[in-house]
Amino acid sequence: MTINHSNLGIWTLPPKDNGSWYTSGTEYNNYTRTYMNHLIVNKTIIQPIFHNEVDGYKQADDEAIALIRKIYPGYEIYPIDMRPYDGSGGSIHCITKELHVENPMKIKPKLYADTIDWMGLFPFETEIANNSGANATLMYRKKGETLYKSAKLTNTTADNFVTNLNFSSVKPN
């Protein structure tokens, strides 16, 4: 199965793991593989592929990635094997586009600059909102350290939460 577009040439749908083609639309529905159902996040493309180091048809994936690089110059391509989702009706873009919840939460952190060398107590503030209120604990660590500490956030007004981060007691390994 191919798509012919004047600017891109021939675009082939991903074959089955052994490199063979689908014999019908019904058979393809058991796979629903596509290279164009990628996810773009900033300057990174999470690109569906359909092989790993053990099996799958790598040649088709390599050709598709080369074409994606041509279509999106300057983007970082992050390939991910999407075969576990065969037959689900989509790939990475479809399965990540909407996550429905009854009580969504909005978190809007305040931006801080020049805090890498901070020692002692550091005041932290953020906005957290949802329909039923929120309780929150922040997990944090200083850059270069592996141990996390926790700090309970206190709701001060409306959706405003504050705490003090204690960087003087974070001990490096």
Query: Structural domain boundaries of the chain?
Result: 2-96, 106-169
Quick one: which of 134, 137, 130, 129 has its CA closest to 159? 129
> Which H or E element spans position 96?
helix 92-96
**pLDDT tens, position by position, 61-82:** 999 999 899 989 999 999 999 9
Place of tokens 């999106």: 72
The pLDDT score that the predictor gives to residue 75 is 95
Whether residue 96 contacts residue 72, with contact meaning beta carbons closer than 8 Å, is answered with: no
Whether residue 60 contacts residue 14, with contact meaning beta carbons closer than 8 Å, is answered with: yes
Which is it for strands 76-81 and 106-109: parallel, antiparallel or unpaired?
unpaired
Quick one: which of 119, 107, 44, 118 has its CA closest to 80? 44
**pLDDT tens, position by position, 83-141:** 988 877 778 888 777 666 677 777 777 766 655 566 678 888 888 887 877 788 888 77
Whether residue 43 contacts residue 74, with contact meaning beta carbons closer than 8 Å, is answered with: yes
**The pair of three-digit structure tokens given for residue 58, joined into one six-digit string:** 């790598």
User: Which three-class secondary structure state does DSSP give residue 25?
Assistant: helix
Task: Tell me which of 153 and 141 has the higher pLDDT.
Answer: 153
Task: Tell me which of 2 and 156 has the higher pLDDT.
Answer: 156
